[in-house]
Amino acid sequence: MHEPTLAELRKSGLSALMVPKKFGGRFDEIDPLAVCVAREAMMKTSAHLDSVFALQGIGSYAISRAGTEDQKREWLPKIANAEVLAGLALTEPVAGSDLKGITTVAHTEGDEIVINGAKSYISNGGHASFYTTLVKETDHGEPRYSLILVPANSPGLSVVPSPELIAPHVLGDLTYKEVRVPKSARLGGPGDGFKHVLATLAVFRISVAGAACGLMQGAIEEATRHVRTREQFGQPLIKHGPVSSLLADAWADYEAARLLTYATAEGARADAAANLDRSSLAKLFATESASRVVDSCVQVMGRWGLVRGSKIEKYYRQARPMRVYEGASEVLRLGIAARLSKEIDTWT
């Protein structure tokens, strides 16, 4: 964890957007629109800051939604001031998009829940103070999928760094070996796990689109400043048709993505769960647009767009993972198409 980044998050006070006002937050309930605005600004400046900020909500939302009063009082005020970091442990070596394929299991022994299994590529792994962990409970015949609040210092829980990605992201692989937590660590009832995971996605998937908009804005600004001053064939690059066409399309993609993102975020304020498909649509369009936009910006900058460590090179690397995490584009398309099939007859 980059300590200056965490210090900036604490100083900003923006982590308070991730919890209800009762526990130190800014608003009575978590506001998807406010989170989008914050992520757009952060992603333009620092992908690492954006990631840490987002995980404060993604990792703790199930506590806000389904935690006991004791769990809320213990963790949410610390999330609000970024005293602790949150983690959401879903992905496994054999289960990514197909979460029903998880092999991390839990059973009860007396007043305890015992967890065994492994999670991989978990954001904030090794730095989070707790992991909201999806498990398969095996006590009653048919498996039940539940979320368990597991403190990072629980005996039997170990973390090693995940393989490094192409863009900065703090990730860890978790191993649960006879990890014991009290029954009260369950978030909601047995079998409620997917319900709370979907609720989390309903609130925060749209914020990925907000981050993608920030990335597009930064890339377009960088490329446009370059082509206004770089001359070839006796005139600035921006006056050459192929260059101006690429930038015009990039701007159109950015504006369209931003309009869809904020319209969706506004709808999610009233009922996030009812807007999950729209959030998926916005996330799909914005992240796919970000890849197109940044690629065009690299193209118009020529060799200057290929310099390692430059802003545009960083944007290029940061754009690609957004089409994978919190719903890969291909998986989102399946759900969006299914919703379209149901709604098409209502169109006028």
Please give the pLDDT value at position 68: 93
Distance (Å, whole) CA 211 – CA 318: 10
What pLDDT sits at residue 232? 78
* Domain closes at, from 189, 216, 232: 189
Q: For CA atoms 85, 86, 89, 90, give the dihedral sign.
A: negative
165 shares its domain with 299: no
The dihedral through the CA atoms of 96, 100, 103, 108 has a sign that is positive
Q: Each residue of 177-236: pLDDT tens digit?
A: 999 999 999 999 899 999 999 889 888 999 999 999 999 999 999 999 998 888 678 788
Q: Which pLDDT does position 1 carry in this prediction?
A: 55
Using an 8 Å Cβ cutoff, are 111 and 180 in contact? Answer: no
Q: Are residues 181 and 324 in the same domain?
A: no
Kindly report the pTM of this predicted structure: 0.91
Tokens standing for 266? 């506004």
Same domain, 339 and 220: yes
Question: Angle of helix 311-319 relative to helix 276-301, nearest 10 degrees?
Answer: 140
Instruction: Report the CATH number at residue 142.
Output: 2.40.110.10
Whether 203 and 263 map to the same domain: the answer is yes
Separation between Cα atoms, residue 212 and residue 193, nearest integer Å: 28
> Using CB atoms within 10 A of its CB, is residue 287 exposed (0-12), middle (13-18) or buried (19+)?
buried
The most distant pair of C-alpha atoms in the chain lies apart, rounded to whole Å, by: 81
Residue 2 pLDDT: 64
Neighbours of 190 (CB within 10 A): 16
Give burial (CB, 10 Å; 0-12/13-18/19+) of 85. buried
Spatial CB neighbours of 4, under 8 Å, sequence gap ≥ 6: none
Give the C-alpha distances (Å, rounded to integers) separating 264 from 36, 157, 281.
10, 38, 9
Tally of domains in the chain = 3
Reference 167, options 321, 55, 333, 61; nearest CA is: 321
Q: Which of 68, 85, 102 is the last residue of a domain?
A: 85
Contact between 333 and 323 (Cβ < 8 Å): no
What is the span of the domain harbouring residue 170? 88-189
CATH number at residue 56: 1.10.540.10
For residue range 55-75, list pLDDT tens digits in order.
999 999 999 999 999 999 999
For the chain, 348 residues long, the average pLDDT of each consecutive 10-residue run is 80 94 93 95 90 93 94 96 94 84 92 95 91 89 90 95 81 95 93 91 92 97 90 79 92 97 92 87 96 95 89 93 91 92 85
